[in-house]
Amino acid sequence: MGLTSNFQHDRSRDIIARIHLAKVKDNLSALRKQSGGKPVWAVLKANAYGHGAIEVADAIKDHVYGFAVSTLDEALELRTAGLENEILILGGVKPEGWPIASLLNLSIALVAPDNLSELDEFLKNNQLKIHLKIDTGMGRLGFLESDILEYQKALTRIKGSIVGLMSHFSSADESTRSFIDQQLLVFKKIKSTLFNLDIQPSQIHFSNTDALHHGVIDSETHIRPGLGLFGLSNHTQTSDLQPCLDLLCNILRVKSVPEGTAVGYGRTYITSSPMKIVTLACGYADGYLRAFSNQSRVSIGGHYYPVVGRISMDFTTIAVPDTASIDVKHPVYLISSDPTSPLSLKSLSQLAHVLPYEITCGLQRRISRVYTT
Ligand SMILES: Cc1ncc(COP(=O)(O)O)c(C=O)c1O
């Protein structure tokens, strides 16, 4: 009992994601400014794209209208942590989740015409704020115009609870806004169909981070950015957004090896001279992608060293010149929040042919998240 209760944390494997909350706040201000000052639904799904939903929400709660998450579980996590802002569940909620959503004042996106009569019954005795999702060109969730017409009676019955109208852009990452404009046209048409049915929600929201890059959308009342809060964007010209995550780990072993030593699974790297192979306490089960094998670099004490051999589940190996002295107590930078660094999320994502936020979303629970304000 004494032994386990006194034990705090296994320091032999220390992996830390350091998240700079002041930068998240600056990013939020920059995004708001881009929208002409519209109130923000901050999208914090998938644990705030891996950055920690509760901590990020707490840091920005006074500066946003609400939080948008993907699932009821994610909404409950924020509500039970004491966050009182509006919370919108983007992925919809099944009928069994409506009572708790209503009790905790959660809003839900209505993403399909299923269960409309059950919803009507539920709303006779309960309150639930609904945002009607319109499919304007994404082709997955949301009502098409034909759905609106087919289910107009049912929608009219619940119109008092429909407080918002929303849609999602499929191609805002492109350099031209032609498909954005096409989606806006579809939206305008469906909105007028709804208005003719006397369904006139007060909120309209559309813009994700990349859409904001294409300019203000006059018809929306709120914006809905996610990745931009974390300094990420698919557009290159994003100097006003700052990445806000560093990933560090510790060294497990420094080993001097002779020329011709094979390193790691599959022996994909063989030393061409005597050198030091340094084993790091981080692998793909922590979120450091296997695709970085023999590709990426890390930084120790301001020097960059190549990752050599295959990244394994728990370990990564780097090659260091035989003459370099490596202190095992030195932290190792795997990801840097400096956008100009070769360890930036942008550079790393290009190496692995993934999106930067695929990397942050994959940072696992074995990583301690530490916050700076
Ligand atoms: C419905 C919806 N709205 C808004 C966002 C936020 O988009 P982004 O992270 O590109 O800013 C997402 C994210 O995928 C989403 O699914």
Catalytic site residues? 45, 265
- The CA distance from 232 to 51, in Å, is 12
- Indicate whether 43 belongs to any domain: no
- Indicate whether 161 belongs to any domain: yes
- The CA distance from 186 to 194, in Å, is 12
Per-residue pLDDT of the chain (373 residues; tens, 9 = 90+): 566 666 666 677 899 999 999 999 999 999 999 999 999 999 999 999 999 999 999 999 999 999 999 999 999 999 999 999 999 999 999 999 999 999 999 999 999 999 999 999 999 999 999 999 999 999 999 999 999 999 999 999 999 999 999 999 999 999 999 999 999 999 999 999 999 999 999 999 999 999 999 999 999 999 999 999 999 998 876 568 999 999 999 999 999 999 999 999 999 999 999 999 999 999 999 999 999 999 999 999 999 999 999 999 999 999 999 999 999 999 999 999 999 999 999 999 999 999 999 999 999 989 999 999 9
Structure tokens at 288: 């450091």
Residue of minimum CA distance from atom 15 in ligand 1 = 168
Q: Cα of 43 to ligand 1 centre, how many Å? A: 7
Q: Pick from 239, 247, 230, 237: which is nearest to 356 by CA?
A: 230
CA geometry: angle 178, 184, 188, nearest 5 deg: 150
Beta bridge partners of 42: 67
Domain match, 213 and 95 both: yes
Residue type, 188: K
Residue of minimum CA distance from atom 2 in ligand 1 = 168
Identify the domain boundary among 158, 188, 221.
221
Residue of minimum CA distance from atom 8 in ligand 1 = 226
Domain match, 178 and 319 both: no
- Indicate whether 10 belongs to any domain: no
- Indicate whether 217 belongs to any domain: yes
Domain match, 187 and 301 both: no
Q: Pick from 39, 9, 23: which is nearest to 207 by CA?
A: 39
3-state SS assignment for residue 139: coil
- Please report the DSSP string for 18-47 in residue order: EEEHHHHHHHHHHHHHHTTS--BEEE-HHH
Residue of minimum CA distance from atom 6 in ligand 1 = 226
- The CA distance from 84 to 66, in Å, is 9
- The CA distance from 357 to 258, in Å, is 39
Domain match, 202 and 269 both: no
Q: Angle between the 72-80 and 53-60 helix axes, to the nearest 10 degrees? A: 60
Residue type, 20: H
Domain match, 87 and 203 both: yes
State the DSSP code for 161.
G
Identify the domain boundary among 205, 221, 237.
221
Domain match, 214 and 263 both: no
Domain match, 199 and 257 both: no
Q: How many domains does the chain have?
A: 2
Task: Give the per-residue pLDDT at 13.
Answer: 83
Domain match, 260 and 353 both: yes
Domain match, 108 and 148 both: yes
Distance, first Cα to last Cα, the chain:
36
- Indicate whether 190 belongs to any domain: yes
- Indicate whether 146 belongs to any domain: yes
- The CA distance from 106 to 300, in Å, is 45
- Indicate whether 298 belongs to any domain: yes
Find the helix or strand (DSSP H, E) in which 133 lies: strand 129-133
Domain match, 156 and 290 both: no
- Indicate whether 136 belongs to any domain: yes
Structure tokens at 351: 């190496």
Domain match, 83 and 211 both: yes
Which ligand 1 atom sits closest to the C-alpha of 208? 11
Which value, to the nearest 10 degrees, does the dihedral of the CA atoms of residues 169, 172, 176, 178 take? 0
Task: Give the per-residue pLDDT at 164.
Answer: 98
Q: What is the CATH number of the domain that holds 364?
A: 2.40.37.10
Which ligand 1 atom sits closest to the C-alpha of 41? 4
Q: Taking a C-beta distance cutoff of 8 angstroms, is the pair 156, 123 a contact? A: no
Residues near ligand 1 (Cβ within 6 A):
43, 90, 168, 208-210, 224-228
Q: What is the CATH number of the domain that holds 215?
A: 3.20.20.10
- Structural domain span for residue 113: 66-221
3-state secondary structure 182-195: HHHHHHHHHHHHHH
- The CA distance from 189 to 194, in Å, is 9
Q: Cα of 200 to ligand 1 centre, how many Å? A: 24
pTM listed for this prediction = 0.95
Domain match, 255 and 323 both: yes
Task: Give the per-residue pLDDT at 240.
Answer: 87
